[in-house]
Amino acid sequence: MDARNYQIIYLGSFLLLGIQLLGWDAEITSFLTLISTALITQLFFIRKYAPQQLQNPDGWINILKSPLITALGLCLLLKANDIWILAFAAALAIASKFLIRIKGKHVFNPANFGIMVAILLTGNAWVSPGQWGSSFILLFILGVLGCFILFRVGRIDTSIAFLATFSGLEFIRSVLYLGWGVDFWLHQLSSGALLLFTFFMITDPVTTPNSSKGRIIWAILIGVLSFFFTNWFYAHTAPIIALFIAAPITALLDRIFIGQRFQWQNTKIKPNAYNNTPKPT
């Protein structure tokens, strides 16, 4: 089974949970805006660069899986004062897959790119790490299901390397250096946004380095940057900032550490008209 199906179920379930239990029902218009914009943008670029994919009924399903995953991720992380900012972020996220590429591989995680550019350009967008609350059961379920998805796409090494680096540095600083309690350290890590980043955003198999060694080095770098931005710039979106900065390094690591490029199961990728490199679905 295509691992994207599990990702859609995973992210969609937590979005429904937020609507039903955490009071997100007031944001349904925002969620619909993000999802519809992402799907429309995907279809626009597919029609422009690979219209032959639209001729196959099965191709439509595969074409819409990726933007739906991106849109669900944006629904769970991005907040804004105006609807147009959400639409802007979703359109940028999907467009980045087609327009910002190195050797046929898109550079940025789409959701990460949409969030960061919307924050930087508008000043009225943000990530709300506290919207999940601090329920241990909810975070436990989020982590367990996230691990299951990672085993399906083969990116568990990336999550472990990032989380071990970030949590380890925080432990050294908070507990060993500053003398704060372990409970404070655990509270720092008990964020739904952090777990979503760890199990969803940083592990996007299309934008992570191809080799396991490259992914581990890359994830450690993101962990170090996240620690730096958290403690010296007090940025609660530190991992998202770190991923945005580290994304272009993937191309360098792919040259140094050779590995097989990830392909989604049952995805037929056609060449585009510009440089004969495959366009993403």
Please say whether the beta carbons of 162 and 222 come within 8 A: yes
Residue 268's pLDDT is 42
Closest CA to 100 of 45, 39, 174, 165: 45
Gap between the Cα atoms of 99 and 95, Å rounded: 6
- Residue-wise pLDDT for 121-143, tens only, equals 999 999 987 676 655 556 666 66
Give pLDDT, residue 84.
97
Report pLDDT for 148.
Answer: 65
Q: Please state the domain extents for the chain.
A: 3-127, 139-256
pLDDT for res 90: 98
254, 261, 260, 248: which is closest to 96 by C-alpha?
248
| Whole-prediction pTM | 0.89
What are the distances in angstroms from CA 155 to CA 102, 146, 212, 236?
21, 11, 8, 24
The strand pairing partners of 278, in sequence order, are: 271
